[in-house]
Amino acid sequence: MRTFLGKFFAVTDRIGRIDIAISSLLMFGIVCISVWGVIARYFLGNPSGWVEELSLAMFVWLSFFGLSLLARRGEVVNIEFLLSLVPRGVAFLLRRILSPTLFAACLVVIIYLGFQLVLFSHDSYTSILRIPYSYVYLGIPLGSLFTLYHVLRHAVIGPQFFEELDTEL
Amino acid sequence: MNVYIPIAVMFILLLLEFPVAFSIFVSTMTYFLFFSYLPLMMVVQRIAEGLSSYALLAIPFFIMAGIFMNHSGISRRLLSFSSLLTGHMAGGLAQVNIVLSTLMGGLSGSNLADAAMNAKLIVPFMLKKGYSKGFSAAVTAASSLITPIIPPGIALILFGYINNVSIGRLFLAGVMPGVMMCVLMMLLVSRIAKKRGYLPEREKRASMKEIAFGLKDAAIAFTLPIIIIVGIRFGVFTPTEAGAIAVLFSVIIGAFVYRTMNLRKFQMGLVESVLASANVLVIIAVSYGFSKFLTWEQLPQNIAAFIAANVHSQTLFLILVNFILIILGMFIEGNAILIVLSPLLVAAAKVMGIDLVHFGIIVILNCAIGTLTPPLGTVMFTTCTIVKVQVTEFIREVLPFWLMLVVSLILVTFIPQISLFLPNLVFGQ
């Protein structure tokens, strides 16, 4: 069972790793664009109106692929206090079963509504670059999809593989 | 009634250790499902809208700049410079710890990052020199609270963005309170160190020549906050663009001046930056829908009206705000307070005629102090975990620092000039 799961996740993890590449490229890209914005306006005297628009579109993608990276490392922020006071069994039930289930449910809702929003907004465009808003919004359901994968993966094989993940990065 | 059920849902989920962002999300969904006729798709649309503000980009930028500064070895140089400045005083290493936090405030802008860094960087040396674990952890945690109000603090950007207050002014307003806290804390450490016989780090005061030599090494780090303030003041760039420039600056310094940055470190820095900023970004995104429904239900307006009707003096109002925030800060995480609660308080502060820049510093200082105390102090937990000290021992040692911070808070609250002098000087009234 363990080896089958191990093999299965070895394959899917390869796909799951795309979020690292996407989010770091976005982070890098947004900085470059903003620096260019300053150069164009202040030194070339020719402000680039598209800078703000493009970086905001990338920002939406960055936030949700960033969420996926957090889920991958089990670092989505929560407030740890009360469950240290309740019996261990109850805490286990809440932490390892109820919480991931509700988290996954939230993500499914965001993915579903997010794709609805993408379809709904296909005909409206940003004002300068004329990017369809659907492309901007697509980052939300896609990033959430990756997040969902990591949440389910951790729920299935537990936190004992966290360290391996950390050394990979 | 319509508002209270979703809010109760949020608090229950937070207590069950559910992720902060998604507790807010479920609360918003509850409102949309049961108390409104709007299409559910709007919840996700609000999330996207919450992220469509150029000012917010300053947050990942400054976090990234701080991380690259660390990788490029600037923090290590600042450490040796701090030791030149204060090493001869009683409790030398503890003093170095405080000064380093203040200087790093200009770079990292996050108290959690600063506490973690100092706990790893300085505390091992403090323990070797015979400082107690509890005291070392307490100094580290308390001094890290100076960072969020020294520009470019993330909390300053967040407050400015949420409440529509000038971020440039907020940046400057934090400088004097930050320096004041640094000085007060150094006096306190000096007293404790003399009583316990914690020795100076150096035998005698560093000569002017040594300091000048050290300054040359640290100068690059000091130029960054100056570039930021001057650039914003003269309209060369917005606070957000200043963040991007800060990133560029730190990468160039790391790659070409100190020659410590390579491609591998650069990639690692990018991933670290995404991880460090994503939590707060997602919380901001979901909070947008949340605060929208609070506004529809007129909650901020009602609270402001209630306060205006019942609290008649500014002084009383400020005492009340400090009291509420210190108590809440013990239970709720600082950024969450800033995002969810500060618009409610600002609505009331406007009615009371309080300067919002001054008010911002008060709110941020309150949120910072909350991170130091149980049950939910994030800085307390981080420091105790890294230093490996019992929370009870930490609390005993941190108490004098906590009292000192509360005194600083009272000073900042009732002497507006401490915060407002610099911004008024530079930006005009």
Q: Each residue of B102-146: pLDDT tens digit?
A: 887 766 667 777 787 788 778 888 888 788 889 999 999 999 999
Q: What angle do CA A61, A65, A69 make, to 5 degrees?
A: 160
Q: Tell if the CB–CB gap between A117 and B268 is shorter than 8 Å.
A: no
* Chain B residues close to A103, C-beta within 8 Å: 18-19, 22
Using the Cβ of A20 and the Cβ atoms of chain B, whether some distance falls under 8 Å is answered with yes
Nearest to A34 among B20, B244, B275 (CB): B244
Using the Cβ of A61 and the Cβ atoms of chain B, whether some distance falls under 8 Å is answered with no
Q: What is the CA B396 to chain-centroid distance, rounded?
A: 24
Q: What angle do CA B392, B394, B397 make, to 5 degrees?
A: 115
Which token pair is B209? 């020549």
Range scoring the smallest mean pLDDT among A11-15, A69-73, B403-407: A11-15
How many contacts, defined by CB atoms under 8 Å, are there between A and B? 163
Q: Tell if the CB–CB gap between B29 and A55 is shorter than 8 Å.
A: no
Alpha carbon distance B403, B146 (integer Å): 15
* Chain A residues close to B56, C-beta within 8 Å: 59
Task: State the SS3 of B134-183.
Answer: HHHHHHHHHHHCCHHHCCCCHHHHHHHHHHCCCHHHHHHHCHHHHHHHHH
Q: Tell if the CB–CB gap between B47 and A76 is shorter than 8 Å.
A: no
Q: Tell if the CB–CB gap between A38 and B279 is shorter than 8 Å.
A: no
What pLDDT shows up at residue A166? 44
Number of Cβ within 10 Å of residue A50's Cβ equals 17
Alpha carbon distance B352, B192 (integer Å): 41
CA distance B326 to chain A (A): 17
Residue B115 contacts residue B379 (beta carbons within 8 Å): yes
At A163, the pLDDT band (50, 70, 90 cuts) reads very low
Residues found in chain A: 169
* Residue A59 clears pLDDT 60, i.e. is over it: yes
Using alpha carbons, list the distances in angstroms from residue B171 to A25, A37, B174, B219, B249.
Answer: 29, 22, 6, 20, 19
Q: Tell if the CB–CB gap between A38 and B236 is shorter than 8 Å.
A: yes
Looking up tokens 């609250």 gives: B413
What percent of chain A is modeled with pLDDT above 90?
Answer: 46
End-to-end, the C-alpha distance of chain B in Å comes to: 43
* Chain A residues close to B60, C-beta within 8 Å: 27, 30, 62
Residue A58: name the closest of A49, A50, A69, A68 by CA.
A50
Using alpha carbons, list the distances in angstroms from residue A126 to A56, A114, A123, A169, B54.
Answer: 11, 18, 10, 36, 15
What pLDDT shows up at residue A159? 55
Q: Tell if the CB–CB gap between B244 and A114 is shorter than 8 Å.
A: no
CA distance A139 to chain B (A): 9
* Chain A residues close to B247, C-beta within 8 Å: 31, 35
* Chain B residues close to A34, C-beta within 8 Å: 57, 61, 240-241, 243-244
Q: Tell if the CB–CB gap between A81 and B244 is shorter than 8 Å.
A: no
Alpha carbon distance B41, B50 (integer Å): 14
pLDDT digits (tens, 9 = 90+) for B351-407: 888 999 999 999 999 988 888 887 667 788 778 888 888 888 888 999 999 999 999
Chain A residue whose CA is closest to B283: A77
* Chain A residues close to B14, C-beta within 8 Å: 78-79
* Chain A residues close to B252, C-beta within 8 Å: none
CA distance B428 to chain A (A): 24
What pLDDT shows up at residue A168? 47
Q: Tell if the CB–CB gap between B237 and A42 is shorter than 8 Å.
A: yes
Please state whether the peptide bond connecting residue A100 to the residue before it is cis, i.e. omega within 30 degrees of 0. Answer: no
Residues found in chain B: 429
Q: Tell if the CB–CB gap between A140 and B47 is shorter than 8 Å.
A: yes
Residue A106: name the closest of A96, A114, A116, A118 by CA.
A114
Q: Tell if the CB–CB gap between B268 and A169 is shorter than 8 Å.
A: yes
Using the Cβ of A76 and the Cβ atoms of chain B, whether some distance falls under 8 Å is answered with yes
Task: Kindly state the DSSP code that residue A78 receives in the 8-state scheme.
Answer: -
Using alpha carbons, list the distances in angstroms from residue B418 to A83, B179, B187, B428.
Answer: 42, 10, 19, 16
Query: Please, which residues 98-137 of chain A have a Cβ atom closer than 8 Å to chain B?
Result: 98-99, 102-103, 106, 109-110, 113-114, 116-117, 120, 136-137
> Between these two residues, B270 and A45, which has the higher pLDDT value?
B270
Residue B286: name the closest of B63, B58, B67, B18 by CA.
B18
Q: Tell if the CB–CB gap between B282 and A67 is shorter than 8 Å.
A: yes
> Between these two residues, B386 and A56, which has the higher pLDDT value?
A56
Q: Tell if the CB–CB gap between A24 and B267 is shorter than 8 Å.
A: yes
Partnered with residue A125 across adjacent β-strands are A132
* Residue A16 clears pLDDT 80, i.e. is over it: no
Taking 70 as the pLDDT cut, the residues of chain B under it are 1, 106-109, 201, 332-333, 375-376
Q: Return the residue in B13, B28, B47, B236 with the most chain A beta carbons within 10 A, the one to mutate for interface testing.
A: B47
Half-sphere exposure (CA, 13 Å, Cβ side) for A122?
5
Number of Cβ within 10 Å of residue A46's Cβ equals 8
Q: Tell if the CB–CB gap between B21 and A120 is shorter than 8 Å.
A: no
At A113, the pLDDT band (50, 70, 90 cuts) reads very high
What pLDDT shows up at residue B410? 94
CA distance A109 to chain B (A): 9
Chain A residue whose CA is closest to B241: A34
* Chain B residues close to A93, C-beta within 8 Å: none
What pLDDT shows up at residue A1? 53
Q: Tell if the CB–CB gap between A140 and B54 is shorter than 8 Å.
A: no
Alpha carbon distance B278, B98 (integer Å): 28
Nearest to A63 among B16, B281, B333 (CB): B281
At A167, the pLDDT band (50, 70, 90 cuts) reads very low
Nearest to A67 among B53, B244, B278 (CB): B278
For the residues A104-111, what does the mean pLDDT come to? 96
Residue B86: name the closest of B178, B216, B187, B176 by CA.
B187
* Chain A residues close to B17, C-beta within 8 Å: 78-83, 94-95, 99
